[in-house]
Amino acid sequence: MADLDTKPRPGASRRDFLRGSGLAAASAVISGPARAALDEAAAEAREAQDAVPVLSGQVKITLKVNGQERHTTVEPRSTLLDTLRHRLDVTGPKRVCDRGSCGACTTLVDGAPVYSCTTLAVSCQGKTIETLESFDTGPEGVPHAFHQNDGLMCGYCTPGFVTACKALLDRNPHPTLEEVKQGLNGNICRCGTYVGVLKAALAAAKSMKGA
């Protein structure tokens, strides 16, 4: 867990936030250590101005998806999910709520699960993007456990559950049932497949251990 937290995450950096919020400009009326910190941030921001271009219109990007370099054109507002689905035909991750509350779009970015519907594609350049299409479909893989334990019905939430489950087992290979529930709480199923999903997650943990 600690490992994950130190990794850079997709999205805005502290620097971008300060620049965007106008706090740097307000530093004139602040004194002391706070001012020094803001001055430093403002300097960093000026320096960054050249390094981080402002994107608009159609942007050519390269994404590393499931081990392949994929080139496409997006808009700065295009989400990672829509880019994968609409431009690259990587349709494993699904669009369901489209606002980061149901987990059907879960994708691994640099190994960490993210809601790809609320992640911008342009922020994922240079990162490793994995969708469940790249997972091991053999008897030790998570998809196999979902299949055998009937952890799916209509199957539309399944990619998100499978990906969240893989991410959970990557960082905690020996989860208890409670930990599995916690690890999958960011995903919603409407058919009511949770019983099979929980069995599948525990079975996957077991077969990964070779037990």
Partner 1 sequence: MASWPEHPRLIGTRIPRVDGMAKASGRAKYPSDVRPEGMLFGVMLYSPHAHAKITSIDTTAAEKMPGVKAVEVIAKAGATLRYQGDDIAAVAAETEEQARDAIAAIKVVYEVLPHVVTEAASMADGAPKIVNTGNVRKGRAITKGNVNDAFKKADATIEGTYSAPVITHVCLETHGLTAKWDDKDHITAYASTQAVGPTAAELAGTFNIPFTNVTVLTEVMGGGFGSKFGADLWGRTAAQLAQKAGAPVKMFLDRVQEHLAAGNRPSASGTVKMGATKDGRLVAMEAHTHGTGGVRGGAGFPLPYVYDVPAASRTHDDVMVNCGGARAMRAPGHPQGCILMEAAMDDLAEKLGMDPIDFRIKNLAPNDFHTPIYLGELAIGAEAIGWKENRKPRGQGGKGPIKKGFGVALHQWGGGGTQDKQVTCIINPDGSVELKSGTQDIGTGARTILAVIAAEILGLEVGQIKSNIGNSTFPTGQPSGGSTTSPSMAPPCYSAVTAARDALFAKVAPALGVQPADLDVKGGKVLVKGEPKLTWAEACRKLGTMPISELGKFQPGLASGGVGGCQFAEVEVDVETGVVRVKKIVAVQDSGLILDLLTWESQVYGGVIGGLNYGLFEERIMDPTTGVMLNADMEMYKLAGASDIPEIIVKAYDPPEQKARGVIGVGEPPTISTAAAIGNAVSNAIGVRVPVWPMSPRNVLNALAAAATEGKA
Binding site for partner 1 (CB under 8 A): 75, 77-78, 82, 85-86, 89, 91-99, 101-102, 104, 131-133, 135, 137, 142-144, 146-148, 150-159, 162, 180-182, 184-198
Q: What is the smallest separation between the CB atom of 173 and partner 1, expressed in angstroms?
A: 19
Q: What is the smallest separation between the CB atom of 18 and partner 1, expressed in angstroms?
A: 28
The smaller minimum CB distance to partner 1, of residues 10 and 92, is found at 92
Q: What is the smallest separation between the CB atom of 99 and partner 1, expressed in angstroms?
A: 6
Quick one: which of 179, 183, 171, 178 has its CA closest to 208?
171
CA distances from 159 to 25, 46, 127, 131, 146 (A): 45, 42, 21, 8, 10
Q: What is the smallest separation between the CB atom of 188 and partner 1, expressed in angstroms?
A: 5
What is the secondary structure of 108-170 as a DSSP string?
EETTEEEEGGGSBGGGGTTSEEE-GGGS--STTSHHHHHHHTT--SS-SSHHHHHHHHHHHHH
Please give the structure tokens belonging to residue 88. Answer: 């690259």
The smaller minimum CB distance to partner 1, of residues 18 and 165, is found at 165
Q: Look up residue 21 and give its amino acid.
A: S
Distance of CA 62 to the CA centre of its chain: 17
Q: What is the smallest separation between the CB atom of 149 and partner 1, expressed in angstroms?
A: 8
The smaller minimum CB distance to partner 1, of residues 10 and 159, is found at 159
The smaller minimum CB distance to partner 1, of residues 128 and 148, is found at 148
The smaller minimum CB distance to partner 1, of residues 38 and 152, is found at 152
